[in-house]
Structure 1
Amino acid sequence: MNKKIYFLSLVFSPAILFAASGESADYDIIERTINFVIFFALVYYFAADAIKNIFKARRDEIANSLAKIQEKLQDSKKAKEKALNSLEDAKKTARDIVETAHKESVIITQKVEETTKIEIENLVRQYNDHIAFEQRKAEKLIIDEILSEFLNKDSVALSKDVLAQSLLKKAA
């Protein structure tokens, strides 16, 4: 408070000195300058704290805004890192899935080949068995036909050896 009183006394001292001089000049620039200085001093005296508070509040508001922006920037950096980590995990999972699918396709192909091979072997075996069966069936029919032909003829009397050789020739 003492500083303010001292300051005001210094500001008003030129006005008191000019008022005491009694001379009037044609120039009012000095009075206007003194009035301006007095006006500025009064404004400073009464409004300095308010102006300082306004600028301090604005400075604090800017600092808080900057802090919020920095916080958001940090959050976005963390979110970006998290997204990149998730992307890497997804890429790794995709590679694992592709590898697993490739391995499964190889295994399935091998199983299909083995199954097909076994089925082909079974078909060949069945075909061979069927051919053998049909040959035996044909041989039986031929033997039955020859036997019935020879047995139905009463005039021909053959021995068993001759009959067996005839059958073998006919069958061959």
Structure 2
Amino acid sequence: MATVLRSYARHSALAKAEWVSWRASSLLSVMVAVGGGIAVALNGSGHPTIASYVDPILVLIACVSVTPMAIGLIREGMRELLEAAPPAPLMHQINGVVEATSRRFELPTPVIRSTKLGQRLYVEGDYLISDHQEFGIDDEDEIRRSITDGLGELGYQVWATVELTTDDRLID
């Protein structure tokens, strides 16, 4: 089941949590089977006292093995709840699309703010333009469409916001 869920886990946080759960359960099952074999072998070889320690040792090993998986899920969930920046590889792709759009429309490098919440990707580009550059609402819409289309292939529902301003205090 973990193998089947792995491909879905790349696109769904729920599938990823389920995949981690199945993976952890599989690991624990293997550990119980190996531990049981070790305990039987120890009992059979005349070491029942040592065999009685197999179970507590397995519990400790299981905790150490499963804890990083759980911490990873909690950390990822907290990043999304706190609206942190997307993971570095995704942020790199966002920056690339926004920079290409900036070059296409001869705009300065914008301040980019982004977050990912589930399947939604929020991207805001704030451009500080000079007083002599003229842009209308149609231009803003075209810039927004360019960013949305460029990020559309990533498989997220992209919510792009574009702000053009001549006041640098509105960008910080």
Q: TM-score range by the shorter chain?
A: under 0.3
The structure with the largest strand share of the pair is: 2
Q: TM (normalized to structure 2)? A: 0.26
In terms of Rg, which structure is larger?
1
The structure with the largest helix share of the pair is: 1
Q: TM (normalized to structure 1)? A: 0.26
